Structure 1
Amino acid sequence: MSYKVMIVDDAAMMRLYISSFLKSLPEFNMVAQAANGQEALDKLLDYPDLDLILLDIEMPVMDGLEFLRHAKLKTRAKICMLSSVTVQGSPHAAKARELGADGVVAKPSGTVSHDLEEKTGDELRDTMRRLVAA
């Protein structure tokens, strides 16, 4: 089984780190990327069979929380917040869950976390697998 993933993050380097991480997980296939929530919403029309969206919060044009408000009406894909501001118990994490985020994982070292795989890789992988299995 191959699960289709969209990465939504305004930092091009972070999108690169996440897509590199996904390449180590053969069951996940990155099929789309977006630099903000509006661009991601527009792409939902082109990818109606997405399984998972990895979503940052702090982005220009439309942030991740606003995207969540709209996306839950337009896609069946599971949405996992992946942001430097979604630390366990934070107001941003709570708001994301309230708006329908299926999972919340914090970036380990800020907006562009080059150490994503080594510091948060296990948690992110386990969360992604749990979400698509649900």
Structure 2
Amino acid sequence: MATHKVMVVDDSVMMRTVIRGFMRNMPEFDIVAYAENGKKALEELDKHKDLELILLDIEMPEMDGLTFLRHAKLKSRAKVIILSSVAVSGSPHAAKARELGANAIVTKPSGAVSMDLVDKRGAELTQTMRKLVGLPV
């Protein structure tokens, strides 16, 4: 089975760890890059031209997710899932993310570091990821 290459962009080491653990049970996806802010993520885009999916937080130091998204859409064809606690439906952050080309938004359930992400949003995140890369949901 071919794997779909993923980059995780989140300033929280704990959230990157939660996402990595969550994706261990998803052999159809392979995390090939991590970045703790948008600036580092842009550097990773240059190294990984074949990325298919980016899981992107919004609130990060140095370069936030929305600024990264603006640049990333010019450099990459990867689909972007905003994974953030501030991009709730109807919020200005969600509207801006959509305007800048985000393909989907999954809200972190309990703040910037959501240790309960898998329990509360795991099914939604899995379905969204699969749908965006053309896998059966």
What TM-score results when the alignment is normalised by the length of structure 2?
A: 0.95
Q: Which amino acid aligns with 1:13?
A: M
| Corresponding position of 2:107 | 106
AA in 1 matched with 2:10:
D
Question: So what's the TM-score if we normalise by structure 1?
Answer: 0.97
SS of the residue aligned with 1:48? coil
**Where does residue 8 of structure 1 map in the other structure?**
9
Q: Runs of at least 4 residues of structure 1 off by over 4 A?
A: none
The number of residue pairs the alignment matches comes to 134
Aligned-pair distance for 1:88?
Answer: 1.6
- Residue number in structure 1 paired with 2:42: 41
What is the DSSP-based 3-state SS (H/G/I as helix, E as strand, rest coil) of the residue aligned with 1:76? Answer: coil
> Aligned-residue CA RMSD in angstroms?
1.0
- The residue identity in structure 2 corresponding to 1:41 is L
What displacement does 1:90 show?
1.4
The equivalences for 1:10-29 within 5 A come to 10-29=11-30
Deviations 1:80-124 (A, max 9, x none): 100001112211111100000011100011001001100000110
- Measured against aligned partners, the alpha-carbon deviations of 1:12-33 in whole angstroms (never above 9, x if no partner) come to 0000001111111111111100
Identity %: 63
Tell me the secondary structure at the aligned position of residue 95 of structure 1.
Answer: helix
Structure 2 unaligned segments of length 5 or more: list them: none
Instruction: Give me the whole-angstrom Cα distance separating, in 2, the residues matched to 1:29 and 1:88.
Output: 28
What's the CA shift string for 1:48-93, capped at 9, x where partnerless?
0001000000000000000011000001110110000111221111
- The aligned runs of 1:1-134 (5 Å cut-off) are 1-133=2-134
Query: Deviation at 1:38?
Result: 0.3
Supply the distance in 2 between the matched residues of 1:48 and 1:37 (Cα, whole angstroms). 16
SS in 2 for 1:31: strand
